[in-house]
Amino acid sequence: METTRKINAPQFFLALFVAQATAALAFNAQYAGGPLFLDNLLSCLLALGLGLLLALPSWGLLRRWGEGVLPLQGRDWAEKAAAALWLLYFVWENGASLTLFQIFLLDTVDPEFSAGLVTAVLLGTGLYGAMRGIEAVARCAFCVFFVFLLGCGGVFAVAALRFSPQNLSPLFYNGPSQALEGAALLLSRSTSLAALPLLLPFVTGKKGRGFALQSLGCALFFGVALTLLAGCLGPYAASQNFPLFTLASLTQIHSLQRLDTVFIGVWIAGLVIRAALELYACRVCARALLGPRWHKKGAALAAALSWGVALLGVWSAGFRQAVLSTRPLLYATLGAGCLAPGLLWAWQAHRQRKGARS
C-alpha cells in the first residue's frame, strides 16, 4: 500500500528533533550513571554513532519496498507480530516520558498538584494531532521547534553568563563507566529508531541527510546542555532531580525574572509533539493489526494505555523503577529500533525469493 499523504523531510526531522530533545530535559545524575556530567559529552558522540548504525536495518527495509510504500501492512503473522511489538514499545516510551513529567510536576510545583490531569490533557492534545494526520503534526511541530529554539536558546544564553571553568571536573576521573551509562540512557530514550520504518514512507525529500542532521542536532543540543550544567552548577547539579530546570530557575533576566516558566512551557510543547508522533506510529501499527477501520481506535487505546502507565509510574515505586530503568528501555529500543526492522527485512526478502521461485 502506498501512502497518499506526504510531508517533506525538513518538516519530519524538525518534529523528530523536538521529540528527541524533549527527552533530554529530564536528564539527571541518577540515570546518567554518576555526577560528572562532562563525561557524558562522550555519551553524546557514542549515542550519535551507534544510532546511525542501528538505523541501517530500517533503511534497508524501506529501500526494499521503494519510495512511499508502507513495509508494515499486516500481510502475514510476521508483520502483525512486528506491529504488536512496535505498538507496545510506543505505549511504554510514551508512558515513561509522561511519568517523568508527572514526577517533575509533583517534585517542583506542588505535591498535591493534579499531575495526572495535566498528562491527560497532554495526551489528549497529542491524540488529536495524531487523528488529524501526519501533516497536522508536522505543521504544529514546525512552530514548536522555534518555540523550543527560542526558549532553550534564551535559557542557555543567559545561563552561559554564570559559566565558571572552576566548576568543571576532570574528564573520566572515575573511568569511562559514566560515559557508557549515559550513552545507554540516550539510546534507550531514542524513539526515532523505531519511528523510522513506520513514518518515513510519509516523507519526501532527502531523508538520509535529514536523519543525520537531526541526530547531530540532538547530540549538539545535549552537549551544550551538559556543558552548561557542569560549568554553571558544578557538583550541585548532581544533587538535583531535574538539573536543567534548576539551571533555568536560577537564571534571570530583567523582563522575565526567573526562566523556569519558560522551561516548563517548552517541555509541555515538546511532550505534545512527542506524544503525537508516537500515537501516529501507533495508528500505523493498529492498521496492520486490526485493519483500516480500526486504526484510529487503536491510537486512542494506545493513548489510554500510555496514560495508565504514567499514572502507575507515579503511584507505584516498583512499577516506576521497571518503567524508567535504563536497561529494559535500552533492550526494548534495540529490539523495536533495530532487531524488528532487520528481522522483518530478512523475512520479507525470503518470502519474495520463495515467491519468485514458485
Q: Are strands 252-253 and 257-258 parallel, antiparallel or unpaired?
A: antiparallel
For residue 185, give its domain range. Answer: 8-69+79-340
Question: From the CA atom positions of the chain, what is the Rg in Å?
Answer: 20
Please, which residues bridge with residue 252 across strands? Answer: 258
Residue 1 within a domain: no
**DSSP tag of 113:** S
Residue 131 within a domain: yes
Q: How far apart are CA 131 and CA 137, in angstroms?
A: 9
Residue 315 within a domain: yes
Residue 195 within a domain: yes
pLDDT of residue 109: 73
How many domains, in total, are found in the chain? 1
Residue 350 within a domain: no
Backbone angles phi, psi at 189, to 5 degrees: -100, 15
At 116, which CATH number? 1.20.1740.10
Q: What is the DSSP string of 63-80?
A: HHH-TTB-S-S--SHHHH
pTM value is 0.91
Instruction: Per-residue pLDDT tens, the chain, 358 aa: give them.
Output: 445 568 899 999 999 999 999 988 888 877 777 788 888 889 999 999 999 999 999 888 888 766 656 666 667 788 888 889 999 999 999 999 999 999 988 887 777 778 788 899 999 999 999 999 999 999 999 999 999 998 888 888 888 888 888 888 888 877 888 889 989 999 998 889 999 989 988 888 889 999 999 999 999 999 999 999 989 888 888 888 888 888 888 776 555 556 678 888 899 999 999 999 999 999 999 988 888 788 889 999 999 999 999 999 988 888 998 899 989 999 999 999 999 988 888 887 777 776 656 5
Q: Which of 265, 272, 297 is nearest to 126 (CA)?
A: 272
Residue 258 within a domain: yes
Residue 93 within a domain: yes
Residue 265 within a domain: yes
The CA–CA distances, whole Å, from 8 to 59, 202, 204 equal: 17, 8, 5
Q: Which of 143, 141, 167 is nearest to 36 (CA)?
A: 167
Q: Is 36 left (phi over 0), alpha (psi -120 to 50) or beta?
A: beta
